[in-house]
C-alpha cells in the first residue's frame, strides 16, 4: 500500500501542470465608483492528480475563485488555462461539488447520477452499468431509487460526488462540500473522497476553512488572506498517507497551520 502511494507521489511530482492560473483578479462593483477587490493577482498551477486545498477565513474569496475556475463568473483580469487552453463556459471537464444541496429533487439517486451522461454516446446498457458502478462506489447500494428528499445530507453529497465523477472530469472543484455535515459524517466523506481519489487520481481543488480537513486531504495547502483576497503562502504537506488524525505529526502539522492562519 505504502509503496503504491509512494509511486503516486513521485508521479505527481513529475507531472506537468494541468491547470494554470495567472495574474487573476476579480472585482465587484455595485455602483461603479467603489469596486470591491475580491481577488488580487492570484497565480498558481496544479499538476495532474494533485489535491490542493484552499484554506482561508470567510470573505477571502476562495469560493469566488472556484466559481471563476468553474466558469460560472468571468474574472476581471488574468487567465485560467486548462491543458494549455483558456477555459470558457462551464463544462464537464471542470465539475463542481457544491456545499448546498444541488441535486435535482424530481430525479432519483440513480437518475441524478445519470444526468450528465445523457448527452454522451453510450448505449442504454453501458450507461446503466456505469451508473450502477458509481452508485456502489459511493456506497449507496440499496438507495438508487430514492428521491433526494428521502436521504440524509451525507448521502446527498455522496450523490453529488458520484454524478460528477461519472463524467471523468479533468479537475474536480469542491466548495466546502462537507461543511454542512455533522462531524462523523464529515469524516466518513473525507475518507470516501480519499478512497475515490486514490482510485481515479483526478486533480482536486478543495475549498475549506477547516485546518484539520486541509491537513488531512492536501498535497498542497494554499493559504489565502482577505481584503483583498490574495495567496499568502503555498505550503506542501509532506505527511505520508494514509494520514492519521490522532498521530503526533498530524497534530503538529495542524498546529503549524493554525499558527499561520492566525497571522493572516
Choosing from 60, 70, 138, 257, the residue that interacts with another protein (CB under 8 A) is 70
Instruction: Report how far apart, in Å, the C-alpha atoms of 88 and of each of 44, 68, 136, 152, 253 are.
Output: 18, 10, 33, 34, 37
> DSSP character for 187?
H
250 three-state secondary structure: helix
Nearest to residue 225, comparing CAs of 62, 86, 76?
Answer: 62
Site string for another protein, 184-223 (x = CB under 8 A): ----------------------------------------
The beta strand positions in the chain, using DSSP E, are: 17-28, 36-47, 51-55, 77-82, 85-86, 94-97, 171-175, 203-208, 220-225, 230-236
In the region spanning residues 154 to 183, those forming contacts with another protein, defined by CB under 8 A, are 163-164, 167
Query: Using CB under 8 A, which of the segments 6-14, 64-72, 199-207, 214-222 binds another protein?
Result: 64-72
142 is a contact residue toward another protein (CB under 8 A): no
Give the Cβ contact number of residue 146 at 10 Å.
Answer: 15
At closest approach, how far in Å is the CB of 165 from another protein? 12
Give the side-chain half-sphere CA count within 13 A for 184.
0
Complex with another protein: residue 78 or 116, whichever CB lies closer: 116
At closest approach, how far in Å is the CB of 72 from another protein? 6
And the C-alpha cell for 29?
462593483
At closest approach, how far in Å is the CB of 108 from another protein? 9
118 is a contact residue toward another protein (CB under 8 A): yes
186 three-state secondary structure: helix
Complex with another protein: residue 28 or 106, whichever CB lies closer: 106
32 is a contact residue toward another protein (CB under 8 A): no
Calculate helix-pair angle for 124-137, 153-165, nearest 10 degrees. Answer: 140
Choosing from 94, 156, 186, 202, the residue that interacts with another protein (CB under 8 A) is 94
At closest approach, how far in Å is the CB of 73 from another protein? 10
Choosing from 149, 168, 191, 247, the residue that interacts with another protein (CB under 8 A) is 149
Query: Using CB under 8 A, which of the segments 8-16, 51-59, 115-123, 191-199 binds another protein?
Result: 115-123
Complex with another protein: residue 100 or 182, whichever CB lies closer: 100
Asked if residue 227 lies in contact with residue 59, where contact means CB atoms within 8 angstroms, the answer is: yes
At closest approach, how far in Å is the CB of 193 from another protein? 18
Nearest to residue 58, comparing CAs of 28, 87, 38?
Answer: 38
Q: Is 49 left (phi over 0), alpha (psi -120 to 50) or beta?
A: left
Applying CB under 8 A, the site for another protein has a residue count of: 27
Interface with another protein by CB under 8 A: which residues? 70-72, 89-92, 94-96, 98, 100, 102-107, 115-116, 118-119, 147, 149, 163-164, 167
Amino acid at each position: 500500500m505504502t509503496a503504491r502511494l509512494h509511486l503516486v507521489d513521485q508521479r505527481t511530482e513529475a507531472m506537468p501542470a494541468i491547470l494554470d492560473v495567472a495574474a487573476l483578479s476579480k472585482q465587484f462593483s455595485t455602483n461603479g465608483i467603489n469596486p470591491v477587490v475580491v481577488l488580487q493577482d492570484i497565480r498558481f498551477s496544479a499538476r495532474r492528480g494533485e489535491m490542493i486545498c484552499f484554506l482561508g477565513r470567510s470573505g477571502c474569496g476562495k469560493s469566488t475563485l472556484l466559481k471563476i475556475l468553474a466558469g460560472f463568473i468571468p474574472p476581471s483580469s488574468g487567465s485560467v488555462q486548462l491543458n494549455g487552453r483558456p477555459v470558457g463556459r462551464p463544462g464537464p471537464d471542470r465539475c463542481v461539488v457544491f456545499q448546498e444541496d444541488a441535486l435535482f429533487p424530481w430525479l432519483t439517486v440513480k437518475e441524478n447520477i445519470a444526468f450528465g451522461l445523457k448527452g454522451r454516446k453510450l448505449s442504454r446498457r453501458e450507461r446503466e452499468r456505469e451508473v450502477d458502478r458509481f452508485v456502489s462506489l459511493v456506497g449507496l447500494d440499496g438507495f438508487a431509487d430514492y428521491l433526494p428528499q428521502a436521504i440524509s445530507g451525507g448521502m446527498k453529497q455522496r450523490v453529488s460526488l458520484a454524478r460528477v465523477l461519472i463524467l471523468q472530469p479533468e479537475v474536480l472543484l469542491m466548495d466546502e462540500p462537507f461543511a454542512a455535515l455533522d462531524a462523523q459524517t464529515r469524516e466518513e466523506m473525507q475518507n470516501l473522497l480519499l478512497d475515490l481519489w486514490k482510485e481515479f487520481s483526478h486533480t482536486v481543488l478543495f475549498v475549506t476553512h477547516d485546518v484539520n480537513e486541509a491537513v488531512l486531504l492536501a498535497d498542497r495547502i494554499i493559504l489565502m488572506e482577505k481584503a483583498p483576497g490574495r495567496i499568502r503562502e503555498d505550503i506542501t504537506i509532506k505527511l505520508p498517507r494514509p494520514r492519521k488524525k490522532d498521530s503526533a505529526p498530524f497534530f503538529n502539522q495542524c498546529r503549524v497551520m493554525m499558527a499561520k492562519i492566525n497571522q493572516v
